[in-house]
Amino acid sequence: MKNWVYISLICVITMTVVLLWDSRPELLNPLAKVESPFERFPYAVLHDARTSHFDENGQLSYEFDAVTLKHFRADTQNTSDEDYMLITAPKLTLYGEPEPWFVTAKQGKVMAHGEKLILWDDVEVWQTEKDAATITTKLSTESIDIFPHQKRISTDAHVHIESSNGTIDADGLEVDMITQRIKLLANVRGQHEPIQ
Amino acid sequence: LQSDRSQPITIDADSAERDELAGTTTYSGKVEMAQGSMRINADEIVIYNTKDKVTKIIAKGKPAAYQQKPSDKAGKVVAKANILEYRIDQETLRLLEGASLQQEGTSLSGTTIEYDVRKSVVKADSNNKDSGRVRMVIPPKALRSELPDSEVNDPKSNQTNPENATQGQLDDKRETPNMPTTPDQSAVTGIDNGHS
């Protein structure tokens, strides 16, 4: 009789191991953080990529080059609003009046189907004269949000602005590229060169 | 000081807005501006620049305050008004709305005051409707230091009667070298710039 007990115990243990062997990890350790598709792997990776983005009227809104562009999908089968792209060494050109704005950074993220970009790490934004060589305004900061179709730039970080008539430092800024207005939000310190 | 005009202008404020198209930078909130010995404190300061230099500064406050040392030997000139317009190229300061200007006890007030910083000449006007006429007060010390010794003990000429000053018709004997008489709605006087 005793032997039967041992044999059935061994059978139960073997079946349990076999069943659990193929099951999903969450069953074994419900507390463990399950990696979404985002963390696990990019859906696609591009190298030395150049992308052109158009607005609803078909006008070229902005272009950017990136050394690498990693496209992540929330659902590997379909696109969704949560999809995003991680970009390294982005160089952005935002087209607008009278002259385009140029942006560079070390890192960046493109979200909401290109409606919003976040750039960080040595961010520089500048605008030039018509000759595209003489810089009229140059802005440097550590991180920035860009809404290209709305032609808007904003940040809460410290910014340093250099222009032909002086420099301005402040915490936080909003740039409206259509009206060409730069709002500096707090702790502003300006330095202007007078007439000699 | 003579060297003020070639010094950089520094400005501290709570916030600011740069308008690239209009070529203005508007500083708002506890604005403090400095250029050498010149200081302006106001609620708002607008910097106008052409190309790369500052041409005009308009300060607004309740009141806005300006101060500057005409020279090492001269006393500080302090001016107040709701609106200060400082033209850097012409080195003129216009005080509008509740204007007053003082230097070492001598004071001048009226509706508007124009102070030529380079020539150290002040011109005051009053529109006589609301704020009364031009009023100038010259303390005995200032008068006594100007007049020859023989006049010093003459009781009649001892002190300027403010009433006369507001009419701008000063007693000939007490005429100080840089204070010609003028019609009663305005007065022109000189500021001690340490050279006269």
The pLDDT tens digits for B128-177 are 555 567 888 877 765 655 555 554 444 444 444 343 333 332 222 233 33
Separation CA A147–CA A152 (nearest Å) = 5
Separation CA B106–CA A92 (nearest Å) = 61
Distance from CA of B29 to the nearest CA of A (A): 10
The ranges of chain A annotated as CATH 2.60.450.10 are 35-192
> pTM for this one?
0.73
Among B13, B69, B85, B5, CA closest to B37: B69
Inter-chain CB proximity B12 and A181 less than 8 Å: no
Distance from CA of B40 to the nearest CA of A (A): 14
Burial (CB count within 10 angstroms: exposed 0-12, middle 13-18, buried 19+), residue A50:
exposed
Contacting residues for A141 by C-beta, under 8 A, at least 6 apart: A123, A125, A155, A157, A158, A159, A160, A173
Indicate the average pLDDT of chain B.
75
Among A82, A87, A84, CA closest to A50: A87
Most confident of A5-19, B19-33, B63-77: B19-33
Among B54, B190, B8, B56, CA closest to B117: B190
Digit-by-digit pLDDT tens for chain A (196 residues) are 667 788 888 888 888 777 766 555 555 555 555 555 556 678 889 999 898 988 888 988 889 899 999 988 887 777 788 889 999 999 999 987 778 899 999 999 998 888 899 999 999 999 887 777 788 889 999 999 999 888 899 999 999 999 877 899 999 999 998 888 999 999 999 998 765 5
The confidence score (pLDDT) of residue A116 equals: 92
- Which residue type does A56 have? E
The confidence score (pLDDT) of residue A141 equals: 97
Contacting residues for B93 by C-beta, under 8 A, at least 6 apart: B66, B79, B84, B85, B86, B87, B114, B115, B117
Check pLDDT > 90 for residue B70: no
Check pLDDT > 50 for residue B178: no
More confident residue, A83 or B82: B82
Distance from CA of A107 to the nearest CA of B (A): 28
Cα dihedral across residues A5, A11, A15, A21: positive or negative: positive
Separation CA A180–CA A152 (nearest Å) = 10
Band (pLDDT 50/70/90 cuts) for residue B190 is low
The percentage of chain B sitting over the pLDDT mark of 90, rounded to a whole number, equals 26
Chain A neighbors of B8, CB-CB under 8 A: 166, 191-194
The confidence score (pLDDT) of residue A187 equals: 96
**Interface contact A166, partner B, CB < 8 A:** yes
Inter-chain CB proximity A183 and B53 less than 8 Å: no
- CA distance readout (Å), B42 to A129, A173, A183, B81, B94: 34, 22, 19, 10, 15
The confidence score (pLDDT) of residue A143 equals: 97
The confidence score (pLDDT) of residue B163 equals: 39
Q: Would you call the peptide bond into A98 cis, given omega within 30 degrees of 0 as the criterion?
A: yes
The confidence score (pLDDT) of residue B137 equals: 81
Separation CA A171–CA A152 (nearest Å) = 17
Burial (CB count within 10 angstroms: exposed 0-12, middle 13-18, buried 19+), residue A86:
middle
CATH topology of domain A35-192: lipopolysaccharide transport protein A fold (2.60.450)
The confidence score (pLDDT) of residue A194 equals: 67
Q: Which of A127, A166, A188 sits opposite B14 (nearest CB)?
A: A188
The confidence score (pLDDT) of residue B150 equals: 53
- Does an H or E element contain B165, and which? helix B162-167
More confident residue, A19 or B45: B45
The confidence score (pLDDT) of residue B191 equals: 64
The confidence score (pLDDT) of residue B94 equals: 93
Distance from CA of B183 to the nearest CA of A (A): 36
Inter-chain CB proximity B9 and A192 less than 8 Å: yes
Contacting residues for B118 by C-beta, under 8 A, at least 6 apart: B91
Report ipTM (2 d.p.). Answer: 0.73
The answer to whether the beta carbons of residues B110 and B134 sit under 8 Å apart is: yes
> What phi, psi does A59 have (nearest 5°)?
-85, 145
**Interface contact A94, partner B, CB < 8 A:** no
Average pLDDT for B109-114: 87
Nearest CA in chain B to A190: B11
